[in-house]
Amino acid sequence: MVSSIVTIFFFLISLTIIVSSTTDTISDNFTISGDKTIISSGGIFKLGFFKPGSSSKYYIGMWYNQLSQPTIVWVANRDTPVKDKNTSVLKISDGNLILLDGKNQTPIWSTGLTSTSSVSPLKAVLSDDGNLVLSTSDSSATVLWESFDHPAHTWLPGGKIRYDKRTGKSQKLISWKNQEDPSPGLFSLELDVSTAYKILWNGTNQYWSSGPWNPQSQLFDSVPEMKLNYIYNFSFFSNATESYFTYSIYNHLNVSRFVMDLSGQIKQLTWLENNNEWNLFWSQPRQQCEVYAYCGSFGICRDKSQPFCLCPRGFKPSSQKDWDLGDFSAGCVRKTELQCARGDINGFLPLSKMKLPEKPEVVVVSSVGNCASACLRNCSCKAYAHDGGSNRCSSWSKDVLNLKQLDDDNSEGYTLYVRLAASDMPSGGSGKSNKMMIFGAVLGSLGVIALVLLAVIVILRYQRRKRMRGEKSDGSLAAFSYRELQNATKNFSDKLGGGGFGSVFKGVLPDSSDIAVKRLEGISQGEKQFRTEVVTIGTIQHVNLVRLRGFCSEGNKKLLVYDYMPNGSLDSHLFINQNEEKIGLVWKLRYQIALGTARGLAYLHDECRDCIIHCDIKPENILVDSQFCPKVADFGLAKLVGRDFSRVLTTMRGTRGYLAPEWISGVAITAKADVYSYGMMLFELVSGRRNTEQSENGNVRFFPSLAATVLTKDGDIRSLLDPRLETEAVDIEELTRACKVACWCIQDEESHRPTMSQVVQILEGVLEVNPPPFPRSIQALVDTNEDVVFFTESSSSSSQNSSQKQQSHASSSSSSKKTTNNNSSA
Ligand SMILES: *[C@@H]1O[C@H](CO)[C@@H](O)[C@H](O)[C@H]1NC(C)=O
Ligand SMILES: *[C@@H]1O[C@H](CO)[C@@H](O)[C@H](O)[C@H]1NC(C)=O
Ligand SMILES: *[C@@H]1O[C@H](CO)[C@@H](O)[C@H](O)[C@H]1NC(C)=O
Ligand SMILES: *[C@@H]1O[C@H](CO)[C@@H](O)[C@H](O)[C@H]1NC(C)=O
Ligand SMILES: *[C@@H]1O[C@H](CO)[C@@H](O)[C@H](O)[C@H]1NC(C)=O
Ligand SMILES: *[C@@H]1O[C@H](CO)[C@@H](O)[C@H](O)[C@H]1NC(C)=O
Ligand SMILES: *[C@@H]1O[C@H](CO)[C@@H](O)[C@H](O)[C@H]1NC(C)=O
For residues 484 and 407, is the Cβ–Cβ distance under 8 A? no
Q: Which residues pair with 258 in a beta bridge?
A: 155, 268
- Give the whole-angstrom CA distance, residue 596 versus residue 542: 10
Which of 17, 51, 57, 86 most suits a substitution to test ligand 2, by most atoms within 8 Å of the C-beta?
86
**Cβ neighbours, 10 Å, residue 85:** 21
Q: What is the pLDDT of residue 363?
A: 82
- Give the whole-angstrom CA distance, residue 142 versus residue 134: 9
Which ligand is in closest contact with the Cα of 271?
6
| Homologous superfamily (CATH) for 1-150 | Bulb-type lectin domain (2.90.10.10)
The minimum-distance atom of ligand 6 relative to the CA of 254 is: 1
Which ligand is in closest contact with the Cα of 204?
3
- Give the whole-angstrom CA distance, residue 368 versus residue 88: 64
- Give the whole-angstrom CA distance, residue 544 versus residue 657: 23
Reply yes or no on whether the pLDDT at 803 is more than 70. Answer: no
What is 300-424's CATH number?
A: 3.50.4.10
For residues 474 and 533, is the Cβ–Cβ distance under 8 A? no
- Give the whole-angstrom CA distance, residue 105 versus residue 714: 78
Q: What is the pLDDT of residue 647?
A: 41
Please name which of 378, 130, 363 lies closest in space to residue 255, comparing C-alpha atoms: 130
Q: Residue 307: is the preceding peptide bond cis (ω within 30°)?
A: yes
Tell me the pLDDT tens digit for each residue of 322-378: 999 999 999 999 998 887 766 556 788 889 889 888 778 878 888 888 888 888 888
Please name which of 721, 759, 623, 616 lies closest in space to residue 677, comparing C-alpha atoms: 616
Answer yes or no: is 518 a known binding residue: yes
- Give the whole-angstrom CA distance, residue 312 versus residue 128: 49
Which residues lie below 8 Å from residue 476, measured CB to CB, with a gap of 6+?
A: 538
Nearest CA to ligand 2 atom 10: 86
Residue 397 CB less than 6 A away from ligand 7:
yes
pLDDT, average across residues 707-715: 88
**Percent of the chain's residues with pLDDT above 70:** 78
- Give the whole-angstrom CA distance, residue 60 versus residue 777: 43
- Give the whole-angstrom CA distance, residue 385 versus residue 350: 9
Upper half-sphere CA count for residue 340 (Cβ side, 13 Å): 18
Domain ranges across the chain: 1-150, 300-424, 476-564, 571-796
The minimum-distance atom of ligand 6 relative to the CA of 255 is: 14
- Give the whole-angstrom CA distance, residue 666 versus residue 269: 8
Q: How many angstroms does the Cα of residue 752 sit away from the middle of ligand 4?
A: 28
Tell me the pLDDT tens digit for each residue of 169-184: 899 999 999 999 999 9
Q: What is the pLDDT of residue 809?
A: 32
Q: List ligand 5's pocket residues with C-beta within 6 A.
A: 239-242
Q: How many angstroms does the Cα of residue 187 sit away from the middle of ligand 3?
A: 12
Q: How many angstroms does the Cα of residue 48 sit away from the middle of ligand 6?
A: 28
DSSP 8-class letter at 642 = -
Phi-psi region of 102 (alpha: psi -120 to 50; beta: other; left: phi over 0): left
Residue 468's pLDDT band (boundaries 50, 70, 90)? very low
Give Cα separations from 773 to 228, 230, 711, 744 (angstroms): 19, 19, 8, 8
- Cα 547 to chain centroid distance, Å, stands at 29
Q: How many angstroms does the Cα of residue 51 sit away from the middle of ligand 2?
A: 13
Q: How many angstroms does the Cα of residue 202 sit away from the middle of ligand 3?
A: 6
**Cβ neighbours, 10 Å, residue 195:** 20
Q: How many angstroms does the Cα of residue 333 sit away from the middle of ligand 3?
A: 18
Which ligand is in closest contact with the Cα of 381?
7
Reply yes or no on whether the pLDDT at 456 is more than 50. Answer: no
Q: Which amino acid is at 631?
A: K
Residue 770's pLDDT band (boundaries 50, 70, 90)? confident
Upper half-sphere CA count for residue 689 (Cβ side, 13 Å): 20
Residue 233 CB less than 6 A away from ligand 4:
yes
Which ligand is in closest contact with the Cα of 250?
4
Upper half-sphere CA count for residue 753 (Cβ side, 13 Å): 26
CATH number for 571-796 (one of 2.30.30.100, 1.10.1740.10, 3.30.43.10, 1.10.510.10): it is: 1.10.510.10
Question: Which residues in 754-767 are b (16+ Cβ under 10 Å) and which e?
Answer: bbbbbbbbbbeeee
H helices present in 390-526, as ranges:
482-488
Positive or negative torsion for Cα 776, 779, 783, 789:
positive
Domain 1-150 matches domain 571-796 at the CATH topology level: no
pLDDT, average across residues 295-313: 89
Tell me the pLDDT tens digit for each residue of 787-798: 333 222 222 333
- Give the whole-angstrom CA distance, residue 725 versus residue 590: 11
- Give the whole-angstrom CA distance, residue 481 versus residue 473: 12
- Taking the whole predicted model, whether its pTM rises above 0.75 is answered as no
3-state secondary structure of 454: strand
3-state secondary structure of 2: helix
Residue 802 CB less than 6 A away from ligand 7:
no
Q: What is the pLDDT of residue 782?
A: 55
Positive or negative torsion for Cα 797, 802, 807, 812:
positive
Q: Give the mean pLDDT of the chain.
A: 79
Q: Which residues pair with 249 in a beta bridge?
A: 232
Please name which of 653, 536, 697, 676 lies closest in space to residue 601, comparing C-alpha atoms: 676
Q: What is the pLDDT of residue 257?
A: 94
Radius of gyration of the chain (CA): 32
Q: Which amino acid is at 698?
A: G
Please return the burial class of 495, using the count of CB atoms within 10 Å of its CB with bins 0-12, 13-18 and 19+: middle
pLDDT, average across residues 241-250: 90
Reply yes or no on whether the pLDDT at 664 is more than 90. Answer: no
3-state secondary structure of 405: strand
Residue 34 CB less than 6 A away from ligand 2:
yes
Q: Which of 563, 616, 674, 748 is catalytic?
A: 616
- Give the whole-angstrom CA distance, residue 278 versus residue 257: 10
Residue 671's pLDDT band (boundaries 50, 70, 90)? confident
Residue 598's pLDDT band (boundaries 50, 70, 90)? very high
* DSSP for 547-592, written as a single string: PEEEEEEETTEEEEEEEB-TT-BHHHHHSS-TTSS--SS-HHHHHH
Nearest CA to ligand 4 atom 11: 233
H helices present in 191-344, as ranges:
320-324
Reply yes or no on whether the pLDDT at 432 is more than 50. Answer: no
Pairing state of beta strands 403-405 and 300-301?
parallel
Residue 31 CB less than 6 A away from ligand 7:
no
Please name which of 737, 733, 735 lies closest in space to residue 720, comparing C-alpha atoms: 735
Positive or negative torsion for Cα 44, 47, 48, 52:
positive
Reply yes or no on whether the pLDDT at 278 is more than 80. Answer: yes
What is 476-564's CATH number?
A: 3.30.200.20
* DSSP for 93-148, written as a single string: ETTEEEEEETTTTEEEEE---------S-EEEEE-TTS-EEEEESSTT--EEEEGG
**Of the candidate ranges 41-55, 188-202, 295-309, 515-529, the one whose mean pLDDT is the lowest:** 515-529
The minimum-distance atom of ligand 1 relative to the CA of 29 is: 1
Q: What is the pLDDT of residue 78?
A: 96
Q: Residue 285: is the preceding peptide bond cis (ω within 30°)?
A: yes
Known catalytic membership, residue 644: no
Q: Which amino acid is at 612?
A: I
